[in-house]
């Protein structure tokens, strides 16, 4: 724990408390009670339990702070000056319910509309990623930096594949065009199904970039500050600092962010033409 701030310690304690029960449930994944929560989006007993544990732990430490939660909705802070927690108890729920060990707990802190801290815990790998504004990004207390790759042909990217056939025909075609454009020029594209970990892995230099659309605030808040504090660039598809507002995000190192945006734009334009 050396070098971690009191805020990061609070977040880590809450995530660890939730992860212990989560991993027990994961070991019995076939017996989990599963209910549908929209198109191919599942909420499990473990999801709800994890959020409750995290909320309880964080409330003990910061009783005046608000909450923005995937399952529990929004609980306002005591005033506009007081921060709010942003919680995704299990990012990668579909992986979890299928017995795939790739999911994470994501917790971020927002104050006056700005993300000031984030923590992403991968309980299956025992990896804890965290960052604070102006203090850098870390994985298990080791400083993280985005990759130094400059050649697009050597770069590995991540994305999230939308549920094709459940949007409009044009939106499906646009994504496929974007994917095709990046695949032709890069070393490959991965889709692992947990946006928080995709962003954490960009910050750690494992991926060189990531893009996805229509995400929620809790999907990307912690990863957003992580990539920035690791020296990366994060924007929406118009190169604006509005990813948190729009849910459309493009993250990469400084050398590849603009080329990635250009390729994605070319893919979209080929469909709109």
Q: So what CATH class is 152-272?
A: alpha beta
CATH 3.30.540.10 range(s) for the chain read 6-143
pLDDT class of 128 with cuts at 50, 70, 90: very high
32 CA to centre of own chain: 24
| Domain made up of 6-143: CATH architecture | 2-Layer Sandwich (3.30)
Q: Binning pLDDT at 50, 70 and 90, where does residue 91 land?
A: very high
Q: Concatenated DSSP letters for 114-129?
A: EEEEEEEEETTTTEEE
C-alpha distances (whole Å) from 121 to each of 24, 40, 178, 223, 245 are 16, 24, 30, 11, 24
Every domain range in the chain assigned CATH 3.40.190.80: 152-272
Q: How much is the pLDDT for 19? A: 96
- What's residue 273's pLDDT? 60
**pTM higher than 0.85:** yes
pLDDT grade for 225, boundaries at 50, 70 and 90: very high
Find the mean pLDDT for residues 123-151: 97
Q: Considering only CA atoms, which of 29, 57, 49, 45 is closest in space to residue 119?
A: 57
Q: What is the mean pLDDT of residues 172-181?
A: 92
- Percent of the chain at pLDDT > 90 equals 78
Comparing C-alpha atoms, which of 42, 86, 264, 239 is closest to residue 159?
Answer: 264
């Amino acid at each position: 724990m050396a070098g971690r701030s009191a805020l990061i310690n609070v977040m880590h304690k809450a995530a660890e408390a939730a992860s212990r029960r989560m991993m027990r449930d994961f070991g019995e994944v076939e017996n989990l009670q599963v209910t549908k929560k929209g198109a191919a989006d599942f909420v499990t007993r473990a999801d709800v339990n994890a959020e409750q544990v995290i909320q309880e732990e964080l409330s003990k430490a910061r009783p005046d702070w608000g909450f923005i939660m995937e399952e529990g909705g929004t609980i306002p802070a005591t005033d506009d000056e007081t921060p709010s927690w942003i919680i995704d108890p299990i990012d990668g729920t579909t992986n979890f319910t299928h017995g795939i060990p790739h999911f994470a707990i994501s917790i971020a802190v927002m104050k006056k509309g700005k993300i000031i801290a984030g923590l992403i815990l991968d309980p299956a790998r025992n990896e804890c990623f965290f960052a604070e504004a102006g203090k850098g990004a870390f994985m298990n207390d080791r400083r993280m930096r985005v990759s130094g790759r400059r050649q697009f042909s050597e770069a590995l990217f991540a994305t999230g594949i939308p549920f094709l056939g459940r949007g409009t025909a044009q939106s499906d075609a646009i994504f496929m065009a974007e994917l095709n454009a990046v695949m032709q020029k890069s070393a490959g594209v991965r889709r692992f199904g947990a946006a928080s970990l995709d962003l954490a892995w960009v910050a750690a230099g494992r991926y060189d970039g990531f893009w996805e659309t229509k995400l929620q605030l809790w999907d990307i808040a912690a990863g957003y500050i992580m990539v920035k504090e690791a020296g990366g660039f994060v924007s929406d598809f118009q190169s604006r600092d509005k990813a948190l507002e729009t849910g459309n995000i493009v993250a990469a190192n400084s050398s590849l962010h603009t080329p990635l945006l250009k390729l994605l734009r070319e893919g979209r334009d080929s469909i709109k033409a």
